[in-house]
Amino acid sequence: MRSAWAAPIGLAFALAAYHIWDLRLRPLGTGLTFDLASREEARRALAQDPRAIVLDVRVHGGPSPFEKTVRIPGMELPRRLAELGPHREGRVFVLAATQADGAAAAALLARHSFRRVACLRPPESPSAHARAPTAPGEVD
């Protein structure tokens, strides 16, 4: 016997899967949408647009892999927004430890009239495309 909740639960899972596979970030409750940018796309934009920057909001993290990086930890961003004023018209790429942190920073920037904001995709791990090892006796 099927439960009356089977259809709504199935629909909820389908909607969740859609949002997971969507290529944009939507911080809950903001109605805003942010693009995800590749690191290569960011490098091209940084080379072409003198106003483009990478905003590094990581609290703990190594040096940024990009030139033209402004480092403002996420918790300090609301009170240090004035430092980003000269870059308001340029493209801002948010580098964060998690997509949620990046989306929160991008939402804050959007609320303060930054219109060209993109969150950087996390780098792919080297093992993501690594071939599985062969079994003994298998030909490579």
Residue 129: predicted pLDDT: 46
Residue 4: predicted pLDDT: 60
List the domain boundaries for the chain.
34-120
Q: What is the pLDDT along the chain (140 residues), one digit of tens a residue?
A: 555 655 555 555 555 545 544 444 555 445 556 688 999 999 999 999 999 999 999 988 788 889 899 999 999 999 999 999 888 888 999 999 988 899 899 999 988 988 899 999 877 644 444 444 445 554 54
CATH 3.40.250.10 at 34-120, yes or no = yes
Q: What are the strands, taking DSSP E only, across 2-140?
A: 24-25, 34-37, 53-56, 69-71, 92-95, 117-120
Nearest to 101, CA basis, from 123, 81, 124, 119: 119
What sign results for the dihedral spanned by CA atoms 126, 104, 73, 111?
A: positive
Residue 55: predicted pLDDT: 96
Residue 127: predicted pLDDT: 44
CA-CA distance, 120 to 31, in Å (whole number)? Answer: 20
Residue 121: predicted pLDDT: 86
- 94 beta partners: 55, 119
CA-CA distance, 79 to 133, in Å (whole number)? Answer: 51
